Each structure stands twice: as structure tokens, then as C-alpha cells.
């Protein structure tokens, strides 16, 4: 559970709320800000147009995207060639693979992926439903990555490029990294507070995202330096994901991304008795992704969206949903729960960059089916339908009572009347 030491807490009924002063700073991005509406809106306009005329564009923290589909930080954003390919295929934005000041400390191993397939004993012919990685952040020198960011923005000045960054527990290092990254012209920064398996001893990744006191301090360093929008990427490996999300937003971050991968052990090879992925006979727990995590991701995003709606509804905040997106319907679910954008990483690794065309087409099909003309028409619409189990019991008891009353008809023969005889008869006829 997240550590709350050093934070002022307000305990209200069963909910623990971290109270922090809001941090405000000017942003240099020249786009017009929009108000945050992580809530539901029933405003589907009358729409008889074809799917080609539906509007998938979104504006998030002043960043205009042609569609809500974003390349999630990881291998699909690891160098200039693949990021250029993503823009060529039509992705709304690209988040590059996470960088830090010193890439020399990043040493990856191979194999570093493992797959979980549907079917008995993970049959090699079964559909891939789970994916584990033990991959670290970018192992390419920062100078090279920065030069490629700059080149990509030169080639695609109107497309949205977001840098993902992670550093050690060092204010000066964070400030230096932010300054150097912003000089390339990136449109925003996503902070990796969520990598589950890389250098926790250096207070990097999830080691920060799981400790609200540490997160508050590091976010303070970041937000006093950054001049472009900042998104905090949340780890699901925590009891209550709303607590770090709240801290990130209250200390100045413009957005939250959720979820990163779930800590996992993919399995044990029952022939060799060694864990997977197996490196020289050994392994380490890694991050779990793909469609098997989608329901978990939806629950986490729902919780964050409810918190944002109640506590940050009048702020320019944003929410990016991540987890098991391989179809347009998967994305629609995130948006219905309040997400502004939807990130895809493992899906690209399995199906290629061209999957964005399928995602856009299927999302438009969903919109046309429900008579929505834009993303705003259905963003957060399903949030209002979540309640407590106690309330569900009350609702069902009342519904049963009303159904019984309708079916009951007349209680006894004395209730028959001459004027209402036909109607009274019909009230007791089985459909």
C-alpha cells in the first residue's frame, strides 16, 4: 500500500483523502487549454452520417490529436524509424520509450518476453492473451534519443510527440533531464512512476509511484521545472491507485496515465522446472500486459476517473487509459469510463503499427451504432452506472417489488368493478 508519511490526511467516512496544496505554473505550450470533464455527458447529436464523417479528434491539455490512439511507451517508440512509422500509419500521438540521463546503466537481457496462450497448458497454438516483459527503459544514449526527438518534430511539426522520462532520486538530475528533453521540442512529458521491474534500489519507476510521500516530493521537483504538460504514469501494483493519482494532480501534473504493467511470474516450464522467460536458467518477475489485463485496467481507470470527476472536475486535467487494447471496443470502454486518450503498446508488438486503422474503424462503428458524432459525446458516459453493493441490493429489491405489484392484478374478488372490468381482466393475463 502507498506510504502516506509526510502527508496531511483527511479521513472522511471510509475514504482516505490526501490533502495537498494545488501547484500552479505557467505552461509555454501555445495551444489553448480546455476544461477537464472527467465525467459523463449525454449529448449524442443526431447523426445520420457515414463513419467517414465521424470526428475522432481530441484535444488534451491543449494538444490536438487526429484520434485518441497513442503509442504507449515501450519498444514501439524506441527510435526515429519506428516513431516515424507510427505517424505514417496515422497514430494520434507517440510516447517514446523511457529515457534517463545515463543509458550505460541500462543492460537488457534476451529472451525478455514470455507469452500466455489460451488453451490447455498454454498450447503453442492458442490465442495470445497475456504477455510478460522484463525489459528495461531505453538502452540508447540520451544524446541519440534527443537528436531523434528533434528530427521527428522537424519532420512532423504538427504531430504530438511525448517524451517518457525516469530518473533517480535526485532533484538536479530530474531538472537536467527535463531541460534537455524540452529543448528538442516535444509536446509533453510522461513521467514513468510505474515500471515494475527496473532499479527500484535507485528509487526509480514504481518505487516512486508506490510511495505517496516520495511521489509528492519528486512531482514537486518536476513541476517546478517543466513548461510543457506533464502526465504521471501510474502503477497498478498498489492497493488504492487513486492515492498516487491524486498526489500527482495536486502537485501540478496535468494528466494521469494508467495502467502500467502488472507484476507477474508468467509461469514455470514443467519440463525444465525453470521460470519463464528463462535467461541462463534463471528469471525475474516482470510486467504483465495484453488482453488479460484489460478488466483490471478498466477498474483502475474507473476509480481514477471517479476521483478526478469529484475532486478535479473544474481543472484542465486528463486521463489516458492503458491495458489490453486490441480492438476499437476496448478503446471505447476506456473512453466511456472517462479516458481522453487510449494507449497501445503490446498490441502494436503483436499486430504491427497498422492496427491503428482497425482501431479507428471499429471505434467509428461503435460511434455510429450509438449515434455519437465525436469522442466528447460519450466520454465518461458509463461512470454514473457504478455504485456500491449495498445500493445494488436496494435497487434490486425495489425492482422486484415493482414487478410483483404489476403482476399481482386484483387481490380478491371483492375488488372487481363494473366500469373497469376489461382493464382489470387484462391486468392478470400472462404475456
Residues with catalytic roles: 195
Cα–Cα dist 318/308, whole Å: 9
Parallel, antiparallel, or unpaired: how do β-strands 286-289 and 262-264 relate? Answer: antiparallel
Any idea what DSSP says for residue 235?
P
CA 308 to chain centroid: 13
Q: Are 133 and 261 spatial neighbours (Cβ–Cβ below 8 Å)?
A: yes
Range list of H helices, 265-380: 294-311, 328-336, 346-351, 355-369
Burial of 229 (0-12, 13-18, 19+ CB in 10 A): buried
Say how far residue 210 (Cα) sits from the centre of its chain. 17
Contact 245, 46 (CB under 8 A): no
CB atoms within 10 A of CB 327: 18
CA dist., res. 126 & res. 123, Å (int) = 5
How far apart CA 213 and CA 288 sit, in angstroms, is 26
Q: Are 375 and 59 in contact (CB under 8 A)?
A: no
Q: Which helix (H) or strand (E) holds 356?
A: helix 355-369
The alpha carbon of residue 346 and the mean position of all alpha carbons in its chain are separated, in whole angstroms, by 14
3-state secondary structure of 374: strand
CA distance 414 to 390: 39
Amino acid at each position: 500500500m502507498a506510504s502516506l508519511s509526510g502527508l496531511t490526511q483527511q479521513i472522511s467516512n471510509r475514504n482516505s483523502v490526501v490533502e495537498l496544496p494545488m501547484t500552479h505554473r505557467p505552461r509555454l505550450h501555445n495551444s489553448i487549454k480546455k476544461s477537464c470533464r472527467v465525467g459523463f455527458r449525454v449529448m449524442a447529436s443526431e447523426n445520420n452520417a457515414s463513419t467517414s464523417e465521424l470526428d475522432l479528434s481530441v484535444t488534451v491539455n491543449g494538444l490536438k490529436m487526429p484520434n485518441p490512439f497513442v503509442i504507449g511507451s515501450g519498444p514501439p517508440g524506441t527510435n526515429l524509424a519506428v516513431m516515424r512509422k507510427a505517424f505514417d500509419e496515422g497514430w494520434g500521438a507517440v510516447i517514446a520509450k523511457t529515457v534517463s540521463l545515463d543509458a550505460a546503466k541500462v543492460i537488457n537481457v534476451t529472451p525478455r518476453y514470455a507469452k500466455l496462450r489460451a488453451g490447455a497448458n498454454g498450447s503453442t497454438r492458442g490465442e495470445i492473451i497475456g504477455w510478460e516483459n522484463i525489459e528495461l527503459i531505453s538502452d540508447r544514449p540520451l544524446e541519440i534519443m534527443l537528436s531523434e526527438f528533434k528530427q521527428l518534430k522537424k519532420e512532423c511539426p504538427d504531430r504530438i510527440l511525448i517524451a517518457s522520462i525516469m530518473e533517480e532520486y535526485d532533484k538536479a538530475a530530474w531538472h537536467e533531464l527535463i531541460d534537455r528533453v524540452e529543448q528538442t521540442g516535444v509536446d509533453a512529458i510522461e513521467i514513468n512512476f510505474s515500471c515494475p521491474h527496473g532499479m527500484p534500489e535507485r528509487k526509480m519507476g514504481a518505487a516512486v509511484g508506490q510511495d505517496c510521500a516520495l511521489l509528492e516530493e519528486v512531482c514537486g521537483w518536476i513541476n517546478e521545472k517543466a513548461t510543457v504538460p506533464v502526465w504521471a504514469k501510474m502503477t497498478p501494483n498498489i492497493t488504492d491507485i487513486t492515492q498516487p493519482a491524486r498526489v500527482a494532480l495536486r502537485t501540478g501534473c496535468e494528466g494521469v496515465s494508467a495502467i502500467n504493467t502488472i507484476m507477474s511470474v508468467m509461469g514455470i516450464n514443467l519440463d525444465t522446472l525453470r521460470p519463464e522467460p528463462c535467461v541462463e536458467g534463471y528469471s525475474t518477475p516482470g510486467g504483465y500486459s495484453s488482453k488479460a489485463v484489460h478488466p483490471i485496467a478498466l477498474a483502475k481507470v474507473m476509480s481514477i476517473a471517479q476521483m478526478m470527476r469529484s475532486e478535479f472536475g473544474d481543472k484542465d486535467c486528463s486521463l489516458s487509459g492503458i491495458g489490453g487494447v486490441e480492438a476499437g471496443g476496448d478503446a471505447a470502454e476506456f473512453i466511456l469510463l472517462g479516458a481522453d486518450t487510449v494507449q497501445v503498446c503490446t498490441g502494436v508488438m503483436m499486430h504491427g503499427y497498422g492496427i491503428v486503422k482497425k482501431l479507428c474503424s471499429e471505434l467509428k462503428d461503435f460511434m455510429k451504432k450509438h449515434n455519437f458524432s465525436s469522442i466528447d459525446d460519450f466520454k465518461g458516459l458509463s461512470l454514473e452506472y457504478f455504485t456500491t453493493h449495498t445500493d445494488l441490493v436496494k435497487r434490486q429489491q425495489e425492482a422486484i417489488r415493482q414487478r410483483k405489484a404489476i403482476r399481482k392484478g386484483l387481490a380478491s374478488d371483492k375488488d372487481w368493478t363494473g366500469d373497469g372490468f376489461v382493464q382489470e381482466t387484462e391486468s392478470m393475463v400472462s404475456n
